[in-house]
């Protein structure tokens, strides 16, 4: 999986240089040697190269459960450094489509997918591709927060690494757990109790813990399947702020039932109906002047 397959300088330059959350903290640099200049130069010193987000493109994607076709041939691309929201009524195939992007769809007995899903021009359904490598590159956050119940906060985040890469040095692990927790905006709330159980956190914190767990393995794309539907408005707001920060380095796809949420966080919005893509475009266009009457009816609340 080539990380440099996306050399589009126009998109990287302004945002990539900022990356506020990732470098402002001592997480990036070794705290043992507080060099003054390093704090000043920030980004360049700690994480040498700003990460480039990656593109996902679906080509004639079809998904089945047994004989019933839930996603009926979708062409759609998710540009890097952008948040794409998928909206549509229940059962329209949003989640199914998103689960095809990290090949989780096939985990359900009898389920299969056809067509192509290109991650930076590489078809992740190519028989030569390792499904495990795909899932490491394309993280997923689920509707209900689901921290691993037997593990502490630290171990939950570390699990992302331990379950995938295997053993890593203690210092390295600690560093990556901390930066993942900072990346998920949870560090300040939990840094004092890393060894307490992950399930002891509030719902919103648990969901951010799950996001941290996904971030720890350094994904190129993050899929979020209604990540806020079980959360209260304040916790939702925190997740939305987080999405805003994360998109500077990760391509984000978010399924949501909440149209205000789509309007708040998404650069682009796609509207699905009965397994088909009705319309996709810049979010404000979809909400203000959609080209398809069905989209207009849905976003104005006439059905769905």
Q: Which residues bind another protein (CB under 8 A)?
A: 102, 104, 107, 109-110, 132-137, 139-140, 142, 144, 146, 148-152, 159-160, 162-164, 195, 197, 210, 213-214, 217
CB of 236 to another protein, least distance (A): 20
Residue at token pair 């927790």:
181
CB of 57 to another protein, least distance (A): 20
CB of 119 to another protein, least distance (A): 13
**Long-range CB contacts for residues 77-80, cutoff 8 Å, separation at least 24:** 78/221, 78/251, 78/253, 78/268, 79/11, 79/55, 79/251, 79/268, 80/6, 80/8, 80/11, 80/52, 80/53, 80/54, 80/55, 80/251
Beta strands at 268-273 and 83-87: parallel, antiparallel or unpaired = parallel
Residue 224 · residue 78 · CB < 8 Å: no
CB of 92 to another protein, least distance (A): 21
Tokens for 108? Answer: 């359900």
Q: Which is nearer to another protein, 164 or 174 (CB)?
A: 164
Q: Which is nearer to another protein, 146 or 229 (CB)?
A: 146
Q: Which is nearer to another protein, 23 or 176 (CB)?
A: 176
Nearby residues of 291 by Cβ (< 8 Å), 6 or more positions away: 279, 281
CB of 99 to another protein, least distance (A): 9
Residue at token pair 């893509």:
277
Q: Which is nearer to another protein, 126 or 130 (CB)?
A: 130
Q: Which is nearer to another protein, 3 or 289 (CB)?
A: 3
CB of 136 to another protein, least distance (A): 3
CB of 94 to another protein, least distance (A): 17
Positive/negative CA dihedral, 150, 233, 256, 223: negative
Residue at token pair 């240089």:
17
CB of 156 to another protein, least distance (A): 10
Q: Which is nearer to another protein, 140 or 262 (CB)?
A: 140
Q: Which is nearer to another protein, 18 or 165 (CB)?
A: 165
Opening angle at CA 224, ends 298 and 139, nearest 5: 150
Q: Which is nearer to another protein, 137 or 243 (CB)?
A: 137
């Amino acid at each position: 999986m080539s990380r440099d397959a996306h050399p589009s300088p126009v998109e990287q330059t302004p945002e990539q240089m900022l990356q506020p959350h990732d470098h402002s903290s001592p997480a990036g640099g070794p705290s043992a040697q507080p060099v003054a200049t390093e704090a000043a130069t920030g980004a360049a010193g700690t994480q040498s190269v700003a990460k480039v987000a990656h593109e996902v493109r679906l080509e004639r994607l079809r998904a089945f459960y047994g004989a019933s076709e839930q996603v009926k041939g979708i062409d759609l691309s998710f540009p890097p450094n952008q948040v794409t929201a998928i909206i549509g009524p229940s059962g329209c195939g949003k989640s199914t489509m998103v689960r095809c992007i990290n090949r989780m769809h096939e985990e359900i007995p009898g389920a299969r997918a056809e067509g192509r899903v290109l991650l930076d021009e590489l078809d992740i359904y190519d028989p030569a591709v390792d499904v495990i490598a795909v899932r490491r590159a394309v993280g997923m956050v689920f509707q209900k927060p689901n921290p691993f119940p037997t593990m502490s906060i630290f171990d939950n985040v570390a699990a992302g690494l331990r379950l995938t890469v295997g053993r890593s040095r203690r210092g390295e692990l600690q560093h990556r757990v901390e930066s993942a927790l900072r990346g998920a905006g949870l560090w300040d709330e939990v840094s004092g109790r890393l060894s307490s159980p992950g399930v002891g956190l509030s719902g919103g914190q648990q969901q951010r813990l799950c996001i941290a767990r996904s971030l720890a393995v350094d994904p190129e794309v993050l899929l979020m399947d209604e990540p806020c539907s079980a959360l209260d408005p304040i916790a939702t707001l925190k997740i939305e702020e987080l999405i805003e920060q994360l998109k500077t380095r990760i391509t984000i796809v978010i399924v949501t039932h909440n149209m205000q949420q789509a309007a708040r966080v998404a650069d682009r919005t796609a509207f699905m109906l009965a397994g088909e893509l009705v319309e996709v475009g810049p979010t404000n266009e979809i909400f203000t002047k959609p080209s398809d009457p069905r989209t207009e009816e849905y976003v104005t609340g006439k059905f769905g």
